Amino acid sequence: MLNKNSEYAVQFTAHELKIIFMQDLDYYKNNPNLNFKVRPGYGYNKFYLDWVDGSYDMSLQALIHFIMFERNLFKRIVSKETYRKLSPFMKKNPEGLFDFYDHDVQDGELVDKIEWLLINFIRCLFKANGLEFQNDDYNSDAQFSHISSCAVFENIIVSRKFYQDFNDYIKTNNLNDDEIEQLSVIFNNTSDLKGLLYLSESLLKKYTELSKKIVEISITRANKNSELSKIAFFYKETF
């Protein structure tokens, strides 16, 4: 599960990536056969947003790492011991890939998860603007189900309007299996307890069991005797 610091890191980096993407969007709409090269002022200042095939140099993953390093986001999310080794490595080896797994498996898994979310976010921006990736590996690494594609995914990561949008959506639509699976990804990976309880309320009439599951998760994450904990227990008693 993403905690508040790692959730903030995703939101901040997604916002930066969107600004970088939008600055060059018109040019690449007119030249759709070119790789999406950007010069964002991070790292060595040359990256390709559609390079994610495992070659780290100038890739989207490299840009994500530089944003998170230069904006002190890694410092907020990885262990102190890992960060002490990361900082000199990034300065001495700007084109090299720091292996978080070599230092802390939990840090490695967290960074992988954040990369995955941000790669999908960029894929959604491409798709929403009529662009396709030139690299097949990118698409295979970035599969996302219907409910999260573009607008909904962007809202939960960047603007947090997801819960209101979802409440409107559920009034007139039935969820398919992919959408239910994506909801599971969301409520298993957010620390936004208010959002979780709002989501449970939206689902209550049509998807009671799913609503119950979200309430149970909220109870385990809320601080004992906090206002949110009391609300979660109240919801549980209504089932």
Question: Considering its fold, how many domains does the chain have in total?
Answer: 2
d(CA 215, CA 217): 5
d(CA 47, CA 56): 10
Does residue 165 sit in the same domain as residue 94? no
Choose the final residue of a domain: 83, 109, 141.
Answer: 141
Q: How crowded is residue 16: how many other Cβ atoms within 10 Å of its Cβ?
A: 19
Does residue 117 sit in the same domain as residue 172? no
Residue of 126, 166, 172, 127 whose CA lies nearest to 147: 166
pLDDT recorded at residue 160:
54
Q: Is the pLDDT of residue 106 over 90?
A: yes
Q: How far is CA 200 from CA 7, 105, 183, in A?
A: 20, 33, 11
Would you say 14 and 118 are in contact if contact means Cβ atoms under 8 Å apart? Answer: yes
Q: Could you tell me the residue range of the domain that residue 17 belongs to?
A: 4-141
d(CA 52, CA 86): 22
User: What confidence tier does 202 reach under pLDDT thresholds 50, 70, 90?
Assistant: confident
d(CA 23, CA 3): 31
Choose the final residue of a domain: 141, 174, 198.
Answer: 141
Does residue 216 sit in the same domain as residue 168? yes
Q: Is residue 146 part of a domain?
A: no
Q: Is residue 154 part of a domain?
A: no
pTM of the model: 0.65
Does residue 119 sit in the same domain as residue 165? no
Least confident stretch, 64-78, 133-147, 166-180: 133-147
Q: Is residue 152 part of a domain?
A: no
Helices and strands in the chain: count of H runs, count of E runs = 12, 2
Interval 94-118 mean pLDDT: 88
Choose the final residue of a domain: 106, 141, 176.
Answer: 141
d(CA 126, CA 201): 33
User: What confidence tier does 150 reach under pLDDT thresholds 50, 70, 90?
Assistant: very low
Q: Is the pLDDT of residue 141 over 50?
A: no
Q: Is the pLDDT of residue 154 over 60?
A: no
d(CA 37, CA 51): 9
Does residue 167 sit in the same domain as residue 118? no
Q: Is residue 106 part of a domain?
A: yes
Q: How far is CA 222 from CA 101, 199, 211, 225, 232, in A?
A: 30, 15, 16, 8, 8
